[in-house]
A and B are shown apart, each in its own frame.
Chain A
Amino acid sequence: GAGVSQSPRYKVAKRGQDVALRCDPISGHVSLFWYQQALGQGPEFLTYFQNEAQLDKSGLPSDRFFAERPEGSVSTLKIQRTQQEDSAVYLCASSSRPGQNTGELFFGEGSRLTVL
C-alpha cells in the first residue's frame, strides 16, 4: 500500500485478555518501529526491527509485551494479560533507511487500545 497500515484501529479489551496489533509498513521499508503514545503525551519508543531482526527492544515496558516481524515485512505487537495502564495508542512507523537514527519515519494512524 501507499502508507503504513495498522489494524485494528480501535480495540477494547478486558483486563487480563491478550491482544495483537498488526502493522503493514510501506513496501520495501527495512526499518520498522513501534511506539506507545499515552493520552496527552508524545510517542515513546518500544522496539525496533531491521528487516526481520529485532535489534532493540529496550522500550518494551514488561515481558507481557512481545513483537515480531518474521518475514521482514508485516509486524505484530502482542500484549499478554492486558492491564489498565496498557491503554494507549500504539503507533507503527517505517523507514527506507536502516538504523534507528534516521529520524525520517512514516507513521501509521495507530491502534487505540482501551483496557477496561
Chain B
Amino acid sequence: AQSVTQLGSHVSVSEGALVLLRCNYSSSVPPYLFWYVQYPNQGLQLLLKYTSAATLVKGINGFEAEFKKSETSFHLTKPSAHMSDAAEYFCAVISLQGAQKLVFGQGTRLTINP
C-alpha cells in the first residue's frame, strides 16, 4: 500500500532563510504526489502536485518540489521564508495501482522566526 513519511513534525526557520520540508513515499508504481498547506483555522489548500510530467514542480507562494525516483522523495522547498508561510504542511500520495486514493502524511508544522 502507498504511504508517505514526513521527516520532522516541527521545523523552525528564520525569516528569509531556506525552507526545506522532507517527504519520502512508498509506492509499488510511480505515484502522483501532492503538498497541501493548512493555515490556522483554515481548510487544507493544494500547494502543488506531481503527476509524472516535469520532475520539478512549482506551486503557489514561491514553493516548489522535486520528484526524485531514485530517492523516493518529494521534498518541498522555498528559497526565502516569509512570516506568512507559518502553517502545517502535508505531503500526500496516490498510487495508480490498487486502492487509488489520497493518503496523507502526518504533517510538518513550520514556524518562522523573525
Identify the A interface with B (CB < 8 A). 3-4, 33, 35, 40-45, 48, 56, 58, 91, 93, 99-101, 103-110
Q: How far is the CB of B101 from chain A (nearest CB, A)?
A: 4
If over half of B's interface residues share one DSSP class (helix, strand or loop), that class is named, otherwise mixed; here it is loop
**Which A-B residue pairs are the 7 nearest by beta carbons?**
A42-B104, A107-B43, A101-B100, A107-B44, A100-B101, A109-B43, A42-B106
Pick from B52-60, B66-74, B76-84, B88-96 the stretch touching chain A.
B88-96
If over half of A's interface residues share one DSSP class (helix, strand or loop), that class is named, otherwise mixed; here it is loop
A49 and B96 CA atoms in complex are apart in Å by 19
A-B contact number at CB 8 A: 61
Q: How far is the CB of A98 from chain B (nearest CB, A)?
A: 12
Also in contact, A101 and B104, with CB within 8 A (given A42-B90, A109-B42, A110-B43): no
